[in-house]
Structure 1
Amino acid sequence: MSVNLKEKILLLPDSPGVYKFYNKNGEIIYIGKAHSLRNRVSSYFKSDHRDRPRIISMIPLIADLEVTQTDNDIEALILESALIKQNQPEYNSMLKDDKSYAWLYVITKSRYPTVKIVRTTNKSEFINGKLFGPYPSGKTIKRVFNYIRKLYPFCTSKDPSKPCFYSRIGLCPGPDASEEVYQNNIKGIINLLKGRNYNQLRVLAEKMRTYAQNRQYERAAEIRDRINDLKYLGSEIKFNYFGTEEEYVESREERMRKQLNQLQKILGLEKLNRVECYDISNIQGKMSYGSMVVSINGVPTNRLYRIFKIRSMDTPNDYLMLAEVLSRRIKHINGDKDESLTEKPDLIIIDGGKGQLSAVHKIIPSGIAILGITKGRKYKRKGGKKKDEFWIYNNGTIEQLKIGPQQSISILRDEAHRFAIIHHRKLRKFMQKKSILDEIKGVGAITKKKLIKAFGSVEQIRGVSLEEIDKVIHNKKISEAINSALKRFKV
C-alpha cells in the first residue's frame, strides 16, 4: 500500500458513507458502503481474508480511494446501489441489474385512502398521492409496510365497500369506518414516513407509564412495542428521492450553501466562499499543534488542510497558541506557493468564545470575519445535548450571535478537531517509539537497530537481563543506561 493511500485512510471520517477503490489506471474496481468509513476501509488492509479470494485478489490492485459521506446508513446503502449500477465495477458481484427501487405509494385522493408498494423510475406517474423511498430491498419495504399497517390500518381490498379478511384482524378499518378515520390514519402514516413522530412518541410514553403504574403490564408492553415501531420507522426513512451520486452530493452541498448564505447575510459579508476553521490540541500539555481545515463553497476540502506545530512555548496556553497559528497563517496570504495558504479566507472560525476572540482579533486583517463557536447550555428536550453558541467580534465588542443551529459551521469545527486527533494519534505512536530508546544517551540508530533485530520490540528488551543486552551491543555503560531507562519507564 502506498504512503499516499495510507495517509488517506488515516484521515477518513468515522461516519457513514460510500467508498470507491481505484486501480492504477484510475478505473473504479469496487464500491462499498460503511457505517464507519474509517473502520471499514482500514479493515481491508488489516484483516485476514483467507476465506474471501475475490478480496485477496482485489487488494493489491487498489491504488487510490474516494469517499462520499452520507447522513445515515440507509442513504449510504442507496448511494452504493446507484453507483454500482452506474459504474459496473469488476469486483462488485451484486446490484448490477437495472431493476428499479421499491417505493411506498400513499394514495390520498380517494374515499378509501391506502398504501401500495410500487416499483418505478418515473415519479410523475403517481399523481394521486405521495411517494416515499426508495427502499433498497423488497424485504425492507415489506417490513416497513407491515409496521405501518399495524400502527395505522388501511384497506388494500379491490372493493373497500365490502368487509375483508384484514378488517377481522385489525389491519383494515372496514367499510363501516368513517371517512375521518381513514383520513386520520393516512395522515399518521405520512407523518411517520416524514419522521414527524415526536408528539406521538411522547403521548404513547405517557400512556405506557400510566398502564405500568396501574399494573396493566400487558397493555404497557403493547404500547412499548408500538413506541419501538415508531422509533424504527422514524430512523428507517428520512429521505424521499434519490438518484445519481452527483444529485446526492449536490443536494447535500445545497443545504450547506443555504446555511452559509444565511450566515453571510447575518455577518454582512460581500462573499463567503472560503471558510477556515482552527483547533488547538496537545498531548498531556506537550507537543502542541494547531489544525486548519478549509471549506470551499460549503464543502470540506481536505487537500487544503494543514497542521501547524506550535513553536513559541512548551506549556499549553490556548490563547497564545491560537494567536501564533493565525499569525503564521495570515502572513502567507498572497505570497505563498502553497495553494492552501495563499488565498485569503472570507471567514475564520475558532473553537472558542470571548477569551479566544479577544486574544486574536487584532491579528486578523480587515476583510476577514472571525467567528467563535462554543458549547453552550443543554437542550431541555434533546437528551441533554449541548447547543452550539456563536460569538462575533464587532466594532470593538464581542457579541453573541442569536442564530439557529448552523450545521455547516459545526461540521467544520468537528472536522478540525478530528483532523487534530488523527495527527496526534500518529504523533503519539511516534513518541512511544522515539522517547524510550532514542532519548537514551549513547543509543544511536545502529544500536537501536541491533536491539530491535535481536529482541523484536522495546517491550521485549525490557524483559531481558543486562547481560543479554550487553551481548548484543558490547558496551557495558550503554547497556546499563538502557536497562535502567526501560525499567524506569513504560511504553
Structure 2
Amino acid sequence: MESNTIKEKIANLPLEPGVYIYKDAKGSILYVGKAKKLRNRVRSYFQERSIQSGRIQTMVRKITDLEVIVTDSEAEALILENNLIKQNQPRYNVLLRDDKTYPYICITNEDRPRVFPTRTVIKDGSQYYGPYDSVNGMKRMLEVIRKAFGLCTCAVSIKTLDKTKNTPKWHSCFDDYLGSCSAQWSLLTYQATIEKVTKLINGKTSLLIRELKEEMEIAAQAMAFEQAAYLRDSLQAVTRYSERMKMVTETEQDRDLFVVEKNTEINEACGVLLKIREGKLIGKFHRFIKPAQGYSHSELLQSFIEDYYTSDHHITLPDEVYLSHDLVDEEVLHGYLHEHKSKKVPFKIPERGDKAKLIKMAVTNAKLHLNDRALALEKRERNRIPAAISDLHHFLSLSRLPRTIHCFDNSNFQGAYPVASMVSFVDAKPRKTQYKHFHIKTVIGPDDFASMAEILTRQYTSVQKNGEHIPDLIVVDGGKGQLSAAVKALKEIGFYGECEIIGLAKRLEEVFIPGRKDAIMIPKTSPALKLLQQVRDEAHRFAITFHRNVRSNNTIGSELTNIDGIGEKTAKQLLKKYGSISNIRKLEAHTLAQEIGTTKANKVLEYFTSNNDH
C-alpha cells in the first residue's frame, strides 16, 4: 500500500537508469526490477489506472518500503537486477530454478591453461563454456579435445619422487605422469592449441578444419613429418566430430534459438535454448522457470534470455537470435549485448522455413521437459500424500489428487443475519490462515441455494481476478440442490471445470457429483469419508461461530442505536474503540465527550443511568 513515505521517496527518485527493490513490513524483499528511468517506472506501480496482473496488485498492497540503486546504464541495471534476483530469490520475481548443477568446461587463466570439467563457476579469470544439458555431451567434447589435440583435461596436479635426484617431482596432471599430456610443449605451441580448442567448443569447426589443413600442408612442405602427422590426426578427429553433427539450417550462420512453454498444472515454465553454429546444432540447454501463473510467454522468455546472456560463463554471440515470442523489452537486451559484448544482434520470430521448424522442435522439447517435470513432482508428492487424500481420489474418481480442499457452509437464524464460511484443508490438515467468512449481501430471507451461489461467485471471481491458488476440490455442504446452485454459479463466471466440485449430504453422508444421478456411498470406515466429515464439520463450526458473533454485535449495536441521537455510525465507533457496552458504561463524561461530543455523550450517559438494570 502506498504510504506518504513511499510517495515522498518516489517524488525524489532520479530520472536515471537503475534497480528498484520493494520490501514488505518485515523488511523482506518482495520484488527486484530494473528501469531506464527509475522515477517513472516505480510511479507506474502505484497509479490507479495502471493495468496490472492480480499477482502484481497483490504485491503492491504489501509494499511498505523501497530502495533504489542508480547505475551508469540500463545494461548495468540488467546485470545488477539478475544478480540481486539470484541472491535474494524474491517472491514476486520470475525465478529460474535448477534441480541440478549443470556441467561446464573450464579453461583456466594460466600461462598453460588446463581444460577440465566442473560444476562450479568461479570468478577467477577462467573461461567457462556451457552449461551442458547432459554430462555425456560434455564428456564427448572433452574426448574430442584429447583425441584431436592431446591437451591436458585434468583438474589436479600430481606429486611423485624423482628417483635419479631423490627429490619431489610435480606433474601437471595424471596424463603428464603417463607421458600422454601436452604440458611439455613450448608455451607458444600450447597457447596456439588452446585457441583451436576454443574454436572447437564454440562450434567453429569449418574454420578449424581449414586452419588444420593449411598447417598440415605447411608442415609437410617443410618435411616436419612428425608435426604433419600430429596435425593429420587432429584434422581427422575434428572432421569426424563435425560430420556427426546435424546440419539444421540451409545457411552456415550462427544462431541462438530461445523458446518458452508453460504448464499451468505445476505452475512452471521451461525455457529451451538451441545453439546453432555454422548451421549445425552444437548444443541444447533448458531451465525451469517458476512461477508461470500471472506471467505472459513474453515475460518468461525475457527472463530466460536475460539470465543466460548475463551469466558468468563464456558467451560467443551468434549472428542472429530467433524467438518463439516477442520480448517485453528488446531494447534493453540490445543495449546490454552492444555494451558488454560489442555486438549488435537482431532478434527475430521466424514464420516459415527451417528456422520455424527449429522453433517448433524446441517448443516440443520444452513440453517434454515439463511433462517429465510434472511426473517427477507427482511421484515426489505421492510419497507424502496422506491415505485420506489417496482414498478420496480413488472413491470419487477425481481427475487429480485433492491436495487442497475448499468447503462452504451457510448459517442464518430464520433468515436474519445470513452469513457463510469457507474453510481450506491442505493435505488433509486445516489451513486456518486461508479461512474466510462472508456476509450474504444479495439474498433476502432464508434461501440456502441462493446464498451458496453468491459466496461461490464472490470467492472464485476474486480467485480469477487476483491469480490466487485454485483448489483441487470444492465441497458444498448439502445435497443435489446445493450442488446444482453451486455448479450454475461457477458456470456463470466461467470457473466451472477449473477444479472438481461435490456435494456432501448430512443425513446419510452421501456424495453427489455433477452429471451423476446416483449418490456415491463411501465406506464408513474409510479415511476418505472421515476427511470429508472433518472438512464439513469445520466449515459448519466456523460458520456458526461467525453467525453468533454477528448476532451478538448487532444486538449490542441495536442497544446503542435505541438511544435518541445515536446512529449506527456512532454505535460502531464506540464499540470499536471500547470493545463492549460494559466498558462504555464505565466511562467518565469527559472521556466520552472527547470521543463523540458533549451532546451525544450526555444522551448516552442519561440512557445508561435510566437503564441500570441492563
TM range (shorter): 0.3 to 0.5
| Structure with bigger gyration radius | 2
* TM-score of the superposed pair, with normalisation by structure 2: 0.30
TM-score (norm 1): 0.36
